[in-house]
Amino acid sequence: MTLHMMLTRRAVHQSSILLRTMSSKAYVVPVDPKNPAGHPAPGVNPAALWFSLLQAQKPAKVDMSLLFYGIPVFDVTSFVSLGEGFHSKAGDVRREIVCKAVGSDVESAKGLGDGVSEAVIDTSTDPQAATIAAHLVLYNFSLKTSPPSAFDPRGTAGVPKKLGISMNASSADWDRGVVYVNVQNLARTATL
């Protein structure tokens, strides 16, 4: 085992210990492999980080995540690929790709454990699609199993969230997406 591999293993191990003992943020950044951009957190340059990695012969597939522990300090930055040819997609196809990628990455952030208290979504690609995906993945609707979902259809209390969701820049599309998700979740539990 080389010295570089040992140092890398140690850094990852120390970062995972920090994540378990501290409350940190996970920055979720949807990235077009050909043109990485965005503004996830102060001091984080997605293009520089993306191109610092060894590039494979084929571009990364949709929803493939790359985690950077300790960037920024005590936090996690997660790049999720939007797949090959994303720049040439338009309309609903583009929106579905963003939904799939962000949803997958928020699910991964949720799996990091109690050390991550908030997912900060980079909304520079499609704010509404990112909002919808990030919020939908938090809910686990299992109305026909035991125990039933914690969602109260009367609207007296929301579903308890294990992970806070926020955006990196304010947007009317983000607010519109939150309303859309709440209506969709209410419709899932409504009885006729």
What is the three-class DSSP state of 126? coil
What pTM was estimated for this model as a whole? 0.72
- Which 3-state string (H, E, C) describes 136-162? HCCCCCCCCCCCCCCCCCCCCCCCCCC
Q: What is the mean pLDDT of residues 143-165?
A: 60
- The strand pairing partners of 28, in sequence order, are 78, 121
Q: Residue 150: its pLDDT value, please?
A: 58
Q: Residue 141: its pLDDT value, please?
A: 63
* pLDDT band for position 1 (cuts 50, 70, 90): very low
* pLDDT band for position 37 (cuts 50, 70, 90): confident
How far apart, in whole angstroms, are the C-alpha atoms of residue 29 and residue 12? 20
Do 162 and 134 meet the contact criterion of CB atoms below 8 Å apart?
no
Task: List, in order, residues 6 or more apart from 138 with CB less than 8 Å away.
Answer: 106, 110, 159, 161, 162, 163, 165
Q: What is the mean pLDDT of residues 140-161?
A: 57
Q: What is the mean pLDDT of residues 114-118?
A: 82
**Where are the extended beta strands (E) located within the chain?**
24-31, 65-69, 76-81, 116-121, 164-167
Q: For residue 127, is pLDDT > 50?
A: yes
Q: What is the mean pLDDT of the chain?
A: 75
pLDDT 10s digits, 53-73: 767 677 678 878 888 888 887
* pLDDT band for position 16 (cuts 50, 70, 90): very low
How far apart, in whole angstroms, are the C-alpha atoms of residue 132 and residue 98? 10
Q: What is the mean pLDDT of residues 113-125?
A: 84
164-167 and 116-121 beta bridge pairing = parallel
How far apart, in whole angstroms, are the C-alpha atoms of residue 139 and residue 116? 17
